[in-house]
A and B are shown apart, each in its own frame.
Chain A
Amino acid sequence: MAEETKPQSAATEGGSSSGGGRPEGRSDRGGDRGGPRGPRPGGGPGGPREGGRKYFRRKKVCKFCVEKIEAVNYKDVRLLAQFVAESGKITPRRLTGVCTPHQRRLSRAIKQARNIALLPFAGRAQ
């Protein structure tokens, strides 16, 4: 159980801190379209913190944590391709709901796959 709660607690901690510290509406990140975002979609039962946040997204769980996929290999293209956009870019964590350690491993694997021509750097993946 410790393993299950660990990513959740880490995610909720991250979510609450960012929700509190982020200035309302301002985003200096280029990709943050759509104005102020609600609490970060951390894994598991978070529930709308600080009540009244309208932009609460549906609960998202880390696919790797749920299915207990430990090893992310650059070789399994099908798994990696799920986390890559049409343009070939790596989808951000806030959209896929992946937890941080898995996202780091995932992005490393994607970059390795790109280097060995299993995934494209830009453009559609076949």
Chain B
Amino acid sequence: MNRSYEVMFIVRPDMVDEDLNKLISTLESSVTSAGGTAKSEIWGKRRLAYKVAKFNDGIFVLLMIEGVGSIVHEVERRLRVTEQVIKFITVRTDEELKRLDKVKKIRESRKKTSTATVAPVTPEASSEPAAAPTA
């Protein structure tokens, strides 16, 4: 029962690197201690599309979590409490990944059947690249 989530949050631009790393490791440890996996990516300083908490830039951090919903609840609570975090958004990604996998499998199975039979001369544009991918 592992759902996957992505939490993207923005941190004040005047935050020090080590504080940021400390914050991220705290969040990651809270995830792993509750029995999930976490992976983080720091995107770096970016210009914001609008002013948030009187800042025009912010440091973007992406946190990928796998686990139950309560883990994410806890992470969000911590983010809300932390003063340095000015915005966050949580997105659930497992359904989307499931759908992408399904589409990929359908495409691959279609490629396999058409390359195996060879008989259909009708232009199957989606399957031809399987034999000779035209870049």
Contact = CB atoms under 8 A, between A and B. Distances in A.
**Chain A at the B interface: SS class:** loop
Interface residues of A, number: 19
Contact of A3 (B8, B49, B58, B126): B126
Interface in A18-65: none
A104 B49 CA distance: 22
A1 B49 contact: no
B10 A121 contact: no
Given A70-B103, A116-B10, A1 B125 contact: yes
Q: Majority SS of interface residues in chain B? A: strand
A115 B89 contact: yes
B126 A116 contact: no
Contacts, number: 47
Interface string A94-124: 0000000000000000001011111111010
19 contacts: A3-B106, A3-B107, A3-B110, A3-B126, A4-B125, A4-B126, A70-B100, A70-B104, A74-B91, A112-B89, A114-B49, A115-B87, A116-B10, A117-B48, A119-B49, A121-B49, A125-B49, A126-B47, A126-B49
Interface of B: 8, 10, 46-50, 52, 58, 62, 87-89, 91, 96, 100, 103-104, 106-107, 110, 122, 124-126
